[in-house]
Amino acid sequence: MGVMLGSLSDLDLRLIRVFLAIVDAGGISTAQSILNVGQSTISTQLATLETRLGFRLCERGRSGFRLTAKGERFTELARHLVGAIEDFSVQARNMDRRLVGTLRIGIIGHTPFSENIRISQAIARFRQRDEAVRLDIRVCSPGEQEERLLSGTLDIAMGYFWHRVPSLQFTPLFIERQVAYCGRDHPLFSRAGQITQAEAWEFDWGWRTYPLPQSVFPANPRSITATADNMEALAMLVLSGHHLAFLPQHFSKSYEEQGLMAPLNMQALRYDVTFHAVTRQRQSLGDIPKAFLEDLASVHLSAIPEILS
């Protein structure tokens, strides 16, 4: 058993921070400018940490830097430890504040500009409170958001979710329109705007890795030859000229203006999705997430009764 596994010292904490800096930099040589020390010193510190742990954290040499299996698990534990220490420090320094801690928010990529402004306004209102809260904002897919909420590594998620997990609470915020598009080099581009569902379903599609609401269309495309969990990837598929895909109308506007893609049929090949604020059940929420939900409700007036209930 390594020395560290029996006790944790100030030296160990310094070595752990050095190790995380190496991981974030992608290697010892690139960590030099971050740590402001020479490569030999960093190598010695890393070796000392491995000796105290009793196992090897990474492989380094001509083949490059690579974490071992234990190194990957230790990295995750080390990040939790450092984060907990930082939270403790913040809370200890701000004992006189009403709200102290961390608020972890998950969002999906390419939210409409108008809604990003609203989220920014909610943050501004939250910052006017008697608080000392560190915001941790992550961009992730709806599936990952649900997993993080259930595991407790997210407090609030904002996005669209097709099924309702019973242990989570969903509050509608706004509606986004999704439209089917083809790229400039696609065979349907010259007739874009007049394509029927039946005709569109015969071509290759790029599809979401998460399902559409069941009631949107009576059938799905016959040939789904690519999948993606984010807008950039779906747009790339459309721009290739080989795939059709549904994209948010606001997201696709700039591509349309450049003549790079066009909607297939604004009436027959579109659907609306509702964005939700999602949390664990209200009774299990802390004061910080509740306070932010109040501020979010204040800029989404139609959602106030449900958010605050």
Q: Is the dihedral of CA 45, 49, 54, 56 positive or negative?
A: negative
Amino acid at residue number 190: S
pLDDT at 302: 47
Report the phi/psi class of residue 91: left, alpha or beta, with left for phi > 0 and alpha for psi in -120 to 50.
alpha
Asked if 243 and 225 count as a contact pair (C-beta separation under 8 A), the reply is yes
What would the two tokens of residue 18 be?
């050095």
Q: What is the residue-level pLDDT of the chain in tens, covering all 309 positions?
A: 455 555 677 778 889 999 999 998 888 888 888 888 888 899 899 999 999 898 999 988 777 888 999 999 999 999 888 888 877 776 666 555 578 888 999 988 767 666 777 888 899 999 999 888 899 998 888 888 888 888 888 999 988 887 778 888 888 888 888 999 999 999 999 999 999 999 999 999 998 876 665 556 756 788 899 998 788 899 999 999 999 999 999 889 999 999 999 999 999 999 888 888 899 887 778 889 999 988 888 886 544 444 444
What would the two tokens of residue 250 be?
């606001």
Domain-wise residue ranges, the chain:
10-92, 106-173+276-308, 175-273
Give the CA distances from residue 144 to residues 22, 56, 79, 213, in Å, rounded to whole numbers and listed in that order. 26, 30, 19, 18
Q: What CATH code is assigned to 106-173+276-308?
A: 3.40.190.10
What would the two tokens of residue 68 be?
């071992």
Helix/strand/coil for 18: helix
This prediction has a pTM of 0.58
pLDDT at 5: 54
Phi, psi of 274 (to 5 degrees): -100, 125
The 3-class SS string of 24-88 reads HHCCHHHHHHHHCCCHHHHHHHHHHHHHHHCCCCEECCCCCCEECHHHHHHHHHHHHHHHHHHHH
What would the two tokens of residue 93 be?
């320094």
The strand ranges marked E within 204-257 are 204-208, 223-228, 245-248
Tell me if 106-173+276-308 shares its fold with 175-273.
Answer: yes
Q: What CATH code is assigned to 10-92?
A: 1.10.10.10
**DSSP symbol at 162:** S
Asked if 278 and 169 count as a contact pair (C-beta separation under 8 A), the reply is yes
Phi, psi of 103 (to 5 degrees): -115, 120
CATH 3.30.70.640 fits 175-273, yes or no: no
Residue 60 has a CB neighbour count (10 Å cut-off) of: 16
